Amino acid sequence: VDSAAFHSKPIYFSNDYQLNKLLIEERLGGSIDLEQREFCSPDASMSGVYFYIQGLADSAEVANTLKSLLVYSEQMAGTRSGVDSATRFQSYISINSGLKLTPSLEDAILAILSGDTVILLQDSSNAIIVSTRGWNSRSVDEPATENVVRGPRDGFTESIRTNTASVRRRIRDSNLRLESMVIGAKTQTEINIAYIEGVVKEGLVQEVRSRLQGIRIDAVLESGYIEELIEDSPLSIFNTIQSTERPDKVAAALLEGRVAIFVDNTPFVLILPTFFWQSIQAPDDYYSRYYMGSFFRMLRYFAYVFSFTLSALYVMIVSFHQEMIPTGLALTIASGREVVPFPVLIEALMMEFAFELMREAGLRMPKPIGSAVSIVGSLIIGQAAVQAGLVSPTIVIIVAITGLASFSIPNYNTSFSIRLLRFPLLIASGTLGLLGFVAVVFAVLIHALSIRSFGEPYMAPASPFRPSDQKDIIIRVPWWKMKKRPTLANGTDNRIGPDQMPEPPESQDSRSDLFPPIPSDSSGLQAAEPELLPMEQPTKNKQSYWFRRLSGK
Amino acid sequence: MTSIRFLTILMSLLTVMFILTGCGQRQINDLAIVTAVGIDPGDKPNHVRISVQIVRPADIRGQTGAPSGGTGEPIYSVKAEGRTIFEAIRNLGKFSSRRVYWAHNYVIVMNEQYARQGISDMVDFFSRNHELRMNTWVVVTPDTASEVISTITGLEVVPGEAMDKLFRYNRIVSQAPRTNLMRLQESFLSRTSQLILAKVSLIPRGISNKKPSEYGSIEQVELSGTAIFRDDKMIGWLSGEETRGLLFFVEDLQSGVMSIACGDGSDGRATFELNEFQHKAQPSWEDNRIHFNIRLEVNASLVESGCQTSIRDMQATWQKQLTEQLTQEVEHIIDLAQNKYKADFLKLGETFHNKYPYEWKTIQQQWDEQFSQADISVNTSVHLHTPMLIIKPMISGKQEESK
């Protein structure tokens, strides 16, 4: 890309009102959605012109601005003439919360194109930018790609401010920083870098900033553009930058010392650095009880292994290592394959292809006829192909399990990488047997161990092994056990205070506490004196859980 | 750039691999899966006849959703001859449309004549063959092996599987040793003890559904008895009852049945189930004489009583009787080993070797002789437990009334 296009000489406004107006008109080329109107105060003491883009600017806000401009211009008439009229305007009145001056034509153009209103006044070499951004955008909705049973239902939208706000709502910490950056020569897309000062890994923000600053591109339409331009291992099939639609995921990542990159016009926010294990972790793991979280997480690990290896293992065993199958199963498989005219490898490839086709078709089809795909697909793949004797029933089950397993991986990108890696593994196992299987699995493993994500080993904390980070990898330990932040995070402050494991109140005899003896001479509730209540009782050496809870300590 | 080159190489390798498919690869449905193999002496002298029971998967599993292409016959039994076992197996290839595959073999059946001629070539072949599993059962039959393996027997569709299960549930009756290829090798290579193998025979037992009146019109495979070997040659049989005495020595028995006369004047019999066997053979070496002390402790429980007297009265008598009978059983098998066959198939040499490794070296050469002259004493004790809730004999309520 020609760098001159990105660093053209800045143009500033002059004192000549007509020339300034012409400059803007010329630059925007009289687009049909550019609204432009000249105005004049009733006493003609002040005249000017305003520009905004229809649809991007909130027309009520524009009208409001204009009204107050005319009202105040009368009061301002004659005050301290000689000073730049825009400056005077800015310091004396406040018509809008976001109001600033700029001498630069580029800034003014960018403001117009961003939905702000630009006002040019006579006798001023500055343009007034009034924030009137307000366009129709999608409301905050449930994320389409990452569903949870328990957890917040809000997702990111296409508006970057809404997105950053929904993260800030979760972390009301003064150290949460948002840095702005504009990338894309044509699109001028706003990019925000979010991190928590003091928690974020040292040097990470500078690295992210410098990588982003190095990007020369004309357009950024989605965060995927950014992702591909700042990755550590651009040729790897694994994605070393996680993208998410969930604000809670971003907030959790920031609290673990990571950096998030918001890109305008997309609900997908990037999280980095990313470890492999993150793609298997779902938000539910942290919100449900830890037994459930750990169980389903382990289930997903199995699903990952299954979706990678199951069809390859089947092909390998059936075409090379028949002695490894228990006899009964061997006979069942053999009987199913009796009439199948293809080798197992071809059969498996056919079925995998058909399955991928079905998945893709289901995604691309217009929603109203989407259900037709599943009907046609399941009929063709599930039944007709078997009855026609083209494939064996076993391979249908194998491919279905493989597909189900790949659906259960929370991260779509990871599930895709495994879907793709399955094919070389399948071919290697179908042609070389166990040897090919092991070779490909090891090649993938060694590759995964060799790549990094923003300097962090991709397979950490399993390799290099970090003992204290194991509490959130295979299983999710209870929250009261997660004392420290991950090793990645900076700083030494703990996540959780000491002795957070809840316990019942300590008392000598719980029965007498819960049912205080009723004196015989009185009756009813009055008999129970307040000092008999368990929380009021002195405890032995440690204040009880309920005492702490109820007394607010 | 290096990673791009690496990827290119990888992709081209994968492509080549894909093109070269078929070398050494065989699909599971291109295999003739053998589930039983029989070895008979051949028609010509010094020939061996191999018969194999090959399954037809489509007929075994029936309609599996796919068109099955079955013929109705679950097994396909063929035989071939050759001068050696391998030659005979290769000759199977003359008419088998699929490659003969041994990994799923359940059982190897040897004919008695073959076994009496020596089985070392068979042991060698099946140990050397990498496809065979070590848990394949090995049996000897007095009938023709090819007949045994082509007989449809048991509830299973595959007769080989039926024989496999016969071995698995054999523990209840305890009438044959559970001899598989691993134990065959172990005994065969052992310097101390002689080889034993289970015996199967064809017994007309099955009842045809079409002609129920003709009892025993269908032959079934029965697993009962033992073949005794000296070195690699079979020398004789043990019956099913005799085998139990043998099993005390060579296996962990789980149960057995023993019935004795009531001993109270009535002509009924009491039947006991034996369990919790504890067996120990204690060798000793005194004055160049070998002595074995065999201790056997058994729990017995009454399972059926046709006697007129209550259990409480008879307990001591029965216990004594059971002990005697069990001692007799054990002494009988020792007598057979020492005097009739003069072969140590009771693994007593092994216990002696373990305890007296140096002395063993001096007598190793003439062990069979030493064994037959060894002094063996048997101590048996039977603990009789009865379901104490039913103490009196089962007598009809009407008869009791009349008493």
pLDDT of residue A368: 79
Peptide bond just before A273 cis, omega within 30 deg: yes
**Chain-chain contact of A337 with B28 (C-beta, under 8 angstroms):** yes
CA B185 – CA B21 distance, rounded (Å) = 38
pLDDT at A388: 86
In Å, how far is A386's CA from the nearest CA of chain B?
Answer: 5
Assign B156 a pLDDT band (cuts: 50, 70, 90).
confident
Degrees, nearest 5: CA angle B312-B313-B315 = 65
Tokens of B109: 């059946």
Which residue type does A364 have? Answer: R
Nearest CB to B57 within list A319, A335, A389? A335
CA dihedral A196, A199, A203, A206 (to 10 degrees): 0
Give the pLDDT confidence score for residue A553 in this predicted structure.
47
Contact criterion met (CB < 8 Å) for B61 and A433: no
In angstroms, rounded to a whole number, what is the distance separating the alpha carbons of residues A461 and B82? 63
Q: What is the DSSP string of A420-477?
A: HHHHHHHHHHHHHTHHHHHHHHHHHHHHHHH-EETTEETTTTTTTT-GGGGGGTTS--
* Greatest extent of chain B over all pairs of C-alpha atoms, in Å: 107
Contact B96, B32 (CB under 8 A): yes
Q: Decide if B17 and A428 are in contact by the 8 Å CB cutoff.
A: yes
- Looking at the complex, report in whole angstroms how far the Cα of residue B218 sits from the nearest Cα belonging to chain A: 26
For residue A325, the distance in angstroms to the closest alpha carbon of chain B comes to 9
Q: Is the model's pLDDT at B138 over the cut of 60? A: yes
Q: Which of B28, B73, B131 to mutate: most A Cβ within 10 Å?
A: B28
Which of A338, A383, A425, A429 to mutate against chain B (most B CBs within 10 Å)?
Answer: A338
Q: Looking at residue A209, what is its pLDDT?
A: 94
CA of A382: which chain B residue's CA is closest? Answer: B65
Residue B304: pLDDT band with limits 50, 70, 90? confident
Whether A534 and A507 have beta carbons less than 8 Å apart is answered as yes
The reply to whether residue A336 touches residue B35, judged by beta carbons under 8 angstroms, is no
- Report the residue of chain B nearest A326, measured CA to CA: B104
Report the C-alpha gap between B336 and B328 in whole angstroms.
Answer: 12
- Pick A334's closest partner by Cβ from B10, B57, B62: B57
Nearest C-alpha of chain B: how many angstroms from A388?
A: 7
Write the residue in A328, A339, A443 that is nearest to B66 by C-beta: A339
- Which of B4, B6, B26, B29 best tests the A interface by mutation, with the highest count of A CBs <10 A? B29
Query: What residues of chain B lie within 8 A of the CB of A335, using their CB?
Result: 57-62, 64, 68
Nearest Cα residue in chain A from B102: A323
Q: How far are the Cα atoms of A136, A138, A361, A406, A419 from residue A143, in angstroms, in the given order?
A: 19, 12, 21, 19, 23
Determine the pLDDT at residue B192. 83
User: What ipTM was estimated for this complex?
Assistant: 0.82
What pLDDT does A241 receive?
93
pLDDT in tens, B328-373: 989 999 999 988 888 888 888 888 998 998 888 888 888 888 888 8
CA-CA distance, B74 to B152, in Å (whole number)?
9
Q: What residues in A contact B35, CB-CB < 8 Å?
A: 327
The amino acid at residue A203 is: G
What is the mean pLDDT of the segment spanning B269-289?
Answer: 86
- A9 contacts: CB under 8 Å, gap ≥ 6: none
Low-confidence ranges of chain A (pLDDT < 70): 1-8, 43, 45, 73-83, 91-97, 507-553
pLDDT at residue A302 in the model: 94
Q: How far is B167 from chain A (nearest CA, A)?
A: 16
Identify which of B17, B25, B61 has the shortest CB distance to residue A335.
B61
For the stretch A10-46, pLDDT in tens is 788 888 888 888 888 888 887 888 888 888 777 676 7
Q: What is the pLDDT of residue A76?
A: 65
Query: Judging by DSSP bridges, how do beta strands B31-41 and B99-101 pair with one another?
Result: parallel
**Nearest CB to A322 within list B24, B28, B133:** B28
- Judged against a pLDDT cut of 90, whether residue B227 lies above it is answered with yes
Largest CA distance in chain A: 103
- Has residue B264 got a pLDDT over 80? no
Average pLDDT over residues B229-240: 90
Nearest by CB to residue A339, choosing from B22, B67, B101, is B67
Q: How many CA atoms lie within 13 A of B184 on its CB side?
A: 29
A39 CB burial (10 A radius; 0-12, 13-18, 19+)? middle
Name the minimum distance, in Å, from the CA of A236 to any CA of chain B: 9
Say if the Cβ atoms of A319 and B4 lie within 8 Å: no
Task: Report CB contact under 8 Å: B28, A330.
Answer: yes
Q: What is the mean pLDDT of chain B?
A: 84
